[in-house]
Structures are given as structure tokens and as C-alpha cells.
């Protein structure tokens, strides 16, 4: 897994995770990190959204 944190605006942020396979993504979304985020939702201005996308192509750095 790799992940990236990014800023969309003055008070808007995102996290982008990548996984080796669908099982890794499923395990992550059902694991302790997702549970901790759900427990912390009261600290956020709005509830987080989770969009699942599929990477079609990538190049190494």
C-alpha cells in the first residue's frame, strides 16, 4: 500500500491510497484505520466521503 495526503483548499484535505489488489483495498476499508476515522467523524467539519476508483495506468518515477 502507498498513500498520499493532499490539500484541496484552505481547509479541505484528502487522502489517496493505492493497493496491490482488490482484497487489500477491502481489508483496509474494513480495518482499524477506517474504524478510527469513523470514530473521529465528530472532529471533522463534514463527514468524510470514500470514493473507490480504479487506476488504469501509471508510470514509475
How far apart, in whole angstroms, are the C-alpha atoms of residue 19 and residue 13? Answer: 20
Task: Say what the pTM is.
Answer: 0.69
| Number of CB atoms found within 10 A of residue 4's CB | 9
Task: Output the pLDDT for position 23.
Answer: 95
Give me the tens of pLDDT residue by residue for the chain, a chain 61 residues long.
Answer: 899 999 999 988 999 999 999 999 999 999 998 888 778 888 888 888 889 999 899 898 8
Neighbours of 59 (CB within 10 A): 4
Phi-psi region of 12 (alpha: psi -120 to 50; beta: other; left: phi over 0): beta
pLDDT at 27: 94
Phi, psi of 9 (to 5 degrees): -170, -170
Q: Which residue in 30, 29, 28, 18 sits closest to 56, CA to CA?
A: 18
pLDDT at residue 57, rounded to an integer: 93
Amino acid at each position: 500500500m502507498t498513500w498520499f495526503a493532499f490539500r484541496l483548499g484552505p481547509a479541505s484535505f484528502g487522502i489517496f491510497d493505492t493497493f496491490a489488489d482488490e482484497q487489500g483495498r477491502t481489508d483496509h476499508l474494513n480495518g482499524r484505520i477506517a474504524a478510527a476515522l469513523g470514530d473521529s467523524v465528530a472532529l471533522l467539519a463534514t463527514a468524510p466521503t470514500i470514493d473507490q476508483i480504479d487506476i488504469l495506468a501509471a508510470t514509475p518515477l
